[in-house]
Amino acid sequence: MKHKVLVLLGVLAAMAALIWAGAPNAAAQSAPKPVVRAILFHAEGCSHCRTVIDKVLPPLQLKHGDQLQIAMIEVSGKESYDYFRQIEEAAKLPPERKGVPALFIADQILVGDQEIPQKLPGLIQKGLASGGIDYPALPGLSDRLPKATGDVGACSVATPCPTPTAQLLALASNQVKAPGGSAPAANAAAANAPAEEPVSNGFGLATAIAVLLALSVVYALVAAVMAGTGRTPPVLPEWTASIIPVLCVIGLGVAGYLTFVETQNVSAVCGPSPYAKLFGFLPVGILGLAGYVAIIAAWAWGRWGKGILALYAPALLLAMALFGVLFSLYLTYIELAVILAVCIWCLTSAVLMAFVLILAVGPAMGVFLGEEAPGDEGEE
């Protein structure tokens, strides 16, 4: 009897030891895994965004699986673009760090297809080691995040995504579509909910500048028609033409910066990358540099030169300015209607060129009306 009791006690002790040893493991297995969440703002037509989405994020998604959740917000639409600009302003980002791709993780903001791959892996590891990172506390973000359940098209065990890139794309906020092509019910409800209309910033400015460009062209054409029929068009005082080289010097600075960005492969911020080169090989910035230099040369020759070239230099200046305005109008249209992204440097150059055209009308009309060139005064 005593032997059986000892055996029973031994068995119970062994079972207790096994349970004790297995308890921490069970607790560890039942504990939720830490998750790192981040937000990526990107835009259609942005080559740097495609680099991040197609080459940078998929390996990280493969490595960390469901412990990495990156919700993507596409900012080509006007409402989403203005929302992104509001986020940038709230973060007080300097101009050189504004643009897409922009990844918000914890209290960090990573911009460009160089900074994101350099710093994101370390931030993910740090976040997992510290117990996880939730989505950043951005204003209005909750309405744009994928829902925990019910989002049609989101990846799950029942509807897995075929590739990591597809999984990332499926998490894009307000971009997931139902099989019939309609937006999810959750997004539709959010869209119908009363909300404060975001203030249009970049697009409103670009539209106003497009109107200015169009009006300057109309003014130049009307003045040319009036001069061609022998009538004197309304022009600015003669001294205002002296402002033209000042505007061109400012334009040279803007065009020089754009040339640096386009030729040195600077990739911090996306602009209209598919349209940054004319005919696929000539950077628009270089074209701007050449245009401003040519306008300054024509202005100087018309003021101090002699002979037939000096006589027609103002008309040549007007023609070059008109071309510059029309090309700027084309680029502004591309920004507003095609890539849905605004380049503040391009808009600055457009405004400068519009004023150059307006100021160039007076001297050019003098040529059409038969006035003498400055260098020809007193010559027979």
pLDDT tens figures, 259-311? 776 665 554 344 444 556 666 667 777 888 999 999 999 999 988 888 888 88
Cα torsion through 70, 76, 81, 84, rounded to 10 = 20
pLDDT tens figures, 172-224? 333 333 333 333 333 333 334 333 333 344 678 889 999 999 999 999 999 88
Cβ proximity of 203 and 83 under 8 Å: no
Query: CA-CA distance, 342 to 334, in Å (whole number)?
Result: 9
Other Cβ atoms less than 10 A from the Cβ of 290: the count is 13
Look at the chain and count its residues: 380
Q: Which residue has the tokens 């003498």?
A: 372
Q: Which residues pair with 37 in a beta bridge?
A: 69
Burial label, 187 (beta-carbon count in 10 A; 0-12, 13-18, 19+): buried
DSSP 268-287: SS---GGGSEETTTEEHHHH
Q: Which residue has the tokens 């080509």?
A: 76
DSSP state of 134: P
Structural tokens at position 80:
């989403």
- Whole-angstrom Cα Rg for the chain: 31
Listed in sequence order, the residues at least 6 apart from 225 whose beta carbon sits closer than 8 Å to its beta carbon are none
Model confidence at 317, pLDDT cuts 50, 70, 90, reads very high
**Portion of the chain with pLDDT greater than 70, in percent:** 65
pLDDT tens figures, 108-154? 999 988 899 999 999 999 999 999 999 998 888 877 776 544 443 33
Other Cβ atoms less than 10 A from the Cβ of 324: the count is 25
Displacement of CA 242 from its chain's centroid (Å): 36
Structural tokens at position 188:
């539709």
Query: For 88, left (φ over 0), alpha (ψ -120 to 50), or beta?
Result: alpha
Q: Please name the fold of domain 36-178.
A: Glutaredoxin (3.40.30)
Query: CA-CA distance, 6 to 2, in Å (whole number)?
Result: 6
Structural tokens at position 297:
């040369």
Burial label, 141 (beta-carbon count in 10 A; 0-12, 13-18, 19+): middle
Bridge-based pairing state of the strands 68-74 and 36-42: parallel
Query: CA-CA distance, 222 to 116, in Å (whole number)?
Result: 52
pLDDT tens figures, 87-109? 888 888 887 677 888 999 988 99
Query: CA-CA distance, 136 to 159, in Å (whole number)?
Result: 27
Domain boundaries, the chain: 36-178, 202-376
Q: Please name the fold of domain 202-376.
A: de novo design (two linked rop proteins) (1.20.1440)
293 three-state secondary structure: helix
Q: State the chain's mean pLDDT as an integer.
A: 74
